[in-house]
Amino acid sequence: MKYRSAFDIIGPVMIGPSSSHTAGAARIGRVARTLFEKQPKKVVITLYGSFAKTYKGHGTDLALVAGLLDFDTFDERIPNSLEIAEKTGMEVIFQTEVAVTEYPNTVKINMYDDQNDMEVIGISIGGGTIEITEIDSFKLKLSGDPAILVIHQDRFGIISSVTSVLSKYEINIGHMEVARKNKGKTAIMVIEVDQKIEDVVFDELKRLDNVNRVIRMVE
């Protein structure tokens, strides 16, 4: 387990009652919104394990929706997130599954609007710490650190092109992995870095050959 500060151990500043079920859930929701790059019009949230059993009592439902509304873990609007979502036109559907998952606090978030849809699976692993384990069936590991996701065609040299841009701007890579479903098709690069990604770097990455999309994660 990687800890960056004492707050990773004692937990985040948050609206309670639980760092795993509330703060972690809010962070998963917020990362999902960031990946979708906008507030979705419709969300189907599927809860597994402990999330499925206790989500109403621990406010997991409120926290997940709050994150999708881009509220932070300490936002005082969290208890009213369902009403706020309705007012903003975001349809929210909750469902639970009895299927056994590797992690007890697991949630699948399916997001939709008129043009796009995306599926994100996340886990809350304690103290408000989370991991995103799948995006549209691409298996990966995204912790919520400053990061970029590069969605690209699986072609020779694309990884080198991306890392060369980061090296040019003296950006240090803390963690990196690449996932693909089929050889030569769409792939995804997850790159966690040690500093903020400036607009000039972001724009240069988007202009690379065979890069379809670049997503910058909020810090």
Q: Which string of DSSP letters, residue by residue, matches 72-116?
A: -TT-TTGGGHHHHHHHTT-EEEEEE-----SSSEEEEEEEE-SS-
Q: Please, what is the average pLDDT of the chain?
A: 87
Report which of residues 3 and 136 the model is more confident about.
136
The answer to whether residue 159 is domain-embedded is yes
The answer to whether residue 86 is domain-embedded is yes
As for how many domains the chain has, the answer is 2
Band (8; pLDDT cuts 50, 70, 90): very low
Which percentage of the chain shows pLDDT scores above 90?
A: 62
Q: Are residues 154 and 126 in the same domain?
A: no
The answer to whether residue 1 is domain-embedded is no
Band (14; pLDDT cuts 50, 70, 90): very low
CATH number at residue 199: 3.30.70.260
Q: Is the pLDDT of residue 175 over 60?
A: yes
For residues 198-208, average pLDDT: 94
Instruction: Give the integer Cα–Cα distance in Å for 219 and 216.
Output: 9
What is the extent of the structural domain holding 204? 147-216
Least confident of 3-17, 91-105, 164-178, 194-208: 3-17
Instruction: Give the integer Cα–Cα distance in Å for 129 and 33.
Output: 17
The answer to whether residue 186 is domain-embedded is yes
Q: Are residues 104 and 174 in the same domain?
A: no
Q: Are residues 116 and 185 in the same domain?
A: no
CATH number at residue 133: 3.30.1330.90
Instruction: Give the integer Cα–Cα distance in Å for 96 and 108.
Output: 10
